[in-house]
Amino acid sequence: MLWRMAWRNLWRHRARTLTMLSAVALSYALMLVAFGINDDGHARMLREAATAAGGDVLVHGQDYWATRASDIVVRDADAVAATVARVEGVRAAVPRVIVNGLAGTAADNRPVLLQGVRPELETELRDIAEDLTAGTFLTGSERSPLVLGSRLVARLEAELGARIVLTGTTPDGEVTRALFHLTGILETGTRELDEVAAYTTLEAAQRAFGMAGAVTQIGIVAEPGVEAEDLAARVRAALAAAGAGRGLEVLSWREAVPEMVALIEIDDALGYIFLAVIYAIVLFSITNTFLMAVKERVRELGLLGALGMPGRRIGRLLLHETVLLTALAMAVGLAIGYTGHRIIANVGIDVASMGIEEMEMSGVDLGEMVMYSTIVPARWIIGSVVIAVATVASAVYPAWRAARLEPAEAMRFYE
Amino acid sequence: MSETRTGPAFEGAATTTAGRPLIRVRGVTRVYDQEGVPVPALRGVDLDVVEGEFTSLAGPSGCGKTTLLNIIGALDRPTAGTVEVAGHDLSRLSKGEAAAFRLENVGFIFQAYNLVPVLTAYENAEFTLLLRGVPAAERRRIVVPLLERLGLADLMDRRPHQLSGGQQQRVAIARALATGPRIILADEPTANLDSASSETLLEHMLELNRDLGTTFLFSSHDDDVLGRVRRIVYMRDGRVDHEEHAVAVT
C-alpha cells in the first residue's frame, strides 16, 4: 500500500517531481561523467608517469635516484638484466645509460639529458620513434648516432648529419668529450623535454663515457595487470637470491615519482569536494522540497494519523516516495551518464580546442591533448550507493516531522 | 437540563440509557494555548452515550463540538477531566496506543470528506482494513457490499476528485464502517452537501445505525438533520447547555 500511495503521490505534483528528479538525475550523471574523465586521466597519468620514470620498476645503483650522481652505476649490467628478466611478471628489462652533460656545436653549448638505449627494448615501454620529425631513431649504421629534441637542435643550429660534441662525466669522475652525428630530430610535445632530450645507442654511450659493462638504470616493464609494488618486491628477492642485490636500489614507479602519486590523490580529493558541493546543494533543495511537501500535505498526513496509521508508517510513506524518486532519478541519471561516458570515450574532449596547448603534470607529458572517459566499476558503484543513500537520507528529517504530526492539530491546519 | 420533543418516525436503533455508557465524559476541559494566551474550548463537559445511540451535538460555531468529538475520538487530549470510550481511559493512551484505539474502535466522518486523494473510492474504503492487516480477499468481501449498499457500486475505481461531494461523503462512511467500529464520530457530515445529498446521507447513517447497531455521535447545524435525531446535545460556550430527547409520532 505504501509503495502504491508513494508512487501516486509523486505524480500528484508532476512539475515538482520532475524538477527534483532532474536535479538528482543530472547531478548523478555529472558525477558519473566526472568519474569517467578523472579515472581515464588518472590512468593515463599513471601510464605516463611510469613511462617518464623509465619503467614500472627501476633498478639503479644504491642512491642514484635521489642524487643522480654519475658515479653510481649498475655494474655487470647484463647479468643483472638477465636475472631481472627471469622474474615472474617482467615483460622486459630495459638497460640505459643516463648522462647529464653538454651538447656543443660551433653555434652554442646546451645542457642535455643523454640516454643511451637499446631501441628495440625501449619499444616495450614507449615508441620514441613516433616523435621523430626528421631522420631515424638509432636504426642506421652510424657508430655514434645522436637523436635530439627539436628545440635543442634549433638552439644548436644543427642539421641532420651535423657533428655534435657531447661533454659528460664518467663514473670515475673524469670529464670526457665525445663526437656524435645528428641522425634524428624529435618533437615530444613537451617544451622542456624538447630542450634537453638526447638519445644514442647504449653501446655508444658506454663507449663515450667509460661505462663498459655498466648502465645507469634498468627499467622494468611489467606484464599487464601486475602491480608495480608487488613486482618490485619480487625483483628485490630475485636479485638478493642471485647475490646481485648489494649496492642496488629497486624502486616501483610510485616510489620513484611520489609527487605524481600525491598529485593524483589531490586531484581525486578536489574532484570529490567539487562533487560534494554540487550534491550538497541538490540535497538541500530536495530536503527543502520535501519539507514543503510535508507542510502542503499536513492535513492529509494528519488524516492518515486520524484514521489510525501509526506515525512511523506516515514517515515511511515519505521515505518510500523518496526511494522511488531516487530510483527513478538514478535510472535516468545512469542513462545520461553512461551515454555521456560513451560519447567522451569514443569522441573525446579536445582540450587543445579550449586553448590549452599542453597537458603536463609534474613534468609528465599526458600525451594527446584529448580527454577520454574510462569506467572504473568500483568507483561508479560506490558513487551510486553514496548518492542513493544521501538522497534518501535527505528525506529523513521531513519524514520525522511527518511522523510527529498530531492528527487533530494537523487536520485543523488550513481550516 | 433535558427536554422532550415530538417528531417523525425515527428509524434509528432503539436506544436505552440503561447499562454502562459506551462513551463517558466527566468534567472535561480543553484549553488551547494560542501564542501564550490560554483559550478555553471546553469548560467542564459531562456526557454519556450508550451503545447504539444516534446522537447529535448542536450549538453555535465555536461552542466546542469539534473539540469534544476530537477528544472522544482520541485525536486530542483533554486538559482536565476523564474520557472513557469502549472501556478505554483515553487519558492514559500513548500516541501509538491512541492510533491503535482509533483503528479498532472509531470510525470518523469529516465535514471536508477527507478522502486520500491518490486512492480510488474502493481503496479509500478499504484503507482502515489495510492498516489492520486484513487480507485482500477479506477486504473485498467487506468493502464491496458496503459500497454497493451506499450506492457506489459503479464508482469504486474513481478517485475523490472524480466524485461529487455526496458521493465522497458516502465513501467516507464506507471507510468509517469497514472495520466494524463500535462508534462513528462525524463532524458536520452534511455541512458541505446539498439538501438532497444531505438527506440521502442521513438515511444511510440511520439505516446503518438501525441495522448494525453502530453508535453515531455527530455534530450538526442542520435543522433538517437535527429534526431526525432522537437525542440532541446542545452546547454553548464549551459546556453542555441542555439536551432534547425526541418522542416518535407514528
pLDDT digits (tens, 9 = 90+) for A231-243: 999 999 999 998 8
Assess B117–A contact: CB distance below 8 Å, yes or no.
yes
Q: What is the mean pLDDT of chain A?
A: 87
More confident residue, B16 or A152: A152
Chain A residue with the nearest C-alpha to that of B96: A310
Predicted confidence (pLDDT) at residue B137 exceeds the cutoff of 90? yes
pLDDT band at residue B13 under the 50/70/90 scheme? very low
Cβ contact, residue pair B96, A311, below 8 Å: yes
Cβ contact, residue pair A12, B117, below 8 Å: yes
Query: Three-state SS for A403?
Result: helix
C-alpha A121/C-alpha A343 separation (Å) is: 36
pLDDT digits (tens, 9 = 90+) for B30-46: 998 888 899 999 999 99
The C-alpha angle A282, A288, A292, rounded to 5 degrees, equals 145
C-alpha A111/C-alpha A91 separation (Å) is: 33
What kind and span of H or E run contains A114? strand A109-117
C-alpha cell read off for B164: 461529487
Predicted confidence (pLDDT) at residue B16 exceeds the cutoff of 60? no
Q: What is the mean pLDDT of residues A119-128?
A: 89
Predicted confidence (pLDDT) at residue B20 exceeds the cutoff of 80? no
Q: What is the mean pLDDT of residues A8-28?
A: 86
Cβ contact, residue pair B175, A307, below 8 Å: yes
C-alpha B209/C-alpha B186 separation (Å) is: 13
Determine the pLDDT at residue A277. 85
- pTM for the model stands at 0.69
Interface of A with B in 305-334 (CB under 8 A): 305-311
Residue A58, Cβ density class (10 Å: 0-12 exposed, 13-18 middle, ≥19 buried): buried
The C-alpha angle B109, B111, B113, rounded to 5 degrees, equals 65
Of the CA atoms within 13 Å of residue B98, those in its CB half-sphere come to 21
Assess B39–A contact: CB distance below 8 Å, yes or no.
no
Determine the pLDDT at residue B41. 92
| Mutate: best of B34, B65, B111, B114, partner A, most A CBs <10 A | B114
- Cα separations (Å) of A303 from A353, B61, B104, B127? 60, 22, 16, 12
Cβ proximity of B4 and B246 under 8 Å: yes
Q: What is the mean pLDDT of residues B184-207?
A: 84
Query: Three-state SS for B233?
Result: strand
The single residue listed with the C-alpha cell 609494488 is A229
Q: Which of A8, A308, A311 sits opposite B118 (nearest CB)?
A: A8
Query: What distance in Å separates residue A298's CA from the closest CA in chain B?
Result: 12
Residue A381, Cβ density class (10 Å: 0-12 exposed, 13-18 middle, ≥19 buried): exposed
pLDDT band at residue B10 under the 50/70/90 scheme? very low
ipTM over 0.85: no
What kind and span of H or E run contains B33? strand B23-34
Cβ contact, residue pair B102, A307, below 8 Å: yes
Radius of gyration of chain A (CA): 31
